[in-house]
Amino acid sequence: MAPRELFSDVPYICSDFELGFALEDWLWNIQTIYAGWKHEIVKDTIIFKRRRDMSLVVKSSQRRTILWPVEALAIDEIAKLR
């Protein structure tokens, strides 16, 4: 759960398989942490994810996609993600 303000503050960057970029959920998490939003683990919860034969995860893996190059992943910025 997250406040609406978070999604306005840190919008998703879409995948672009043609350019080789995907994994937008991981990227969004990195960017929200970098922007100062706190992530918390909720005790005793579980997430079920349905995975299809040609899901985005499968396509991303097959195409060997990477994350978009964003400021948060710059070598001199990455330590701030702690």
Q: Return the ∠ at Cα 79 (arms to 57 and 68), rounded to 5°.
A: 35
Residue 33 is assigned to a structural domain of this protein: yes
pLDDT, tens digit, for every residue of 15-62? Answer: 898 899 998 999 999 999 999 999 998 999 998 888 788 888 888 888
Q: Name the pLDDT band for 67 (thresholds 50, 70, 90).
A: very high
Residue 20 is assigned to a structural domain of this protein: yes
pLDDT, tens digit, for every residue of 3-19? Answer: 999 999 999 998 898 89
- Say how many domains are in the chain: 1
Residue 11 is assigned to a structural domain of this protein: yes
The span from the CA of 76 to the CA of 54, in Å, is 36
Handedness of CA 66, 72, 78, 82 (dihedral sign): negative
Residue 26 is assigned to a structural domain of this protein: yes
pTM, whole model, 2 decimals?
Answer: 0.80
Exposed/middle/buried for 63, CB within 10 Å: 0-12, 13-18, 19+? middle
Q: What is the pLDDT of residue 38?
A: 93
Owner of token pair 């100062």: 36
**What's the gap between Cα 76 and its chain centre?**
20
Residue 12 is assigned to a structural domain of this protein: yes
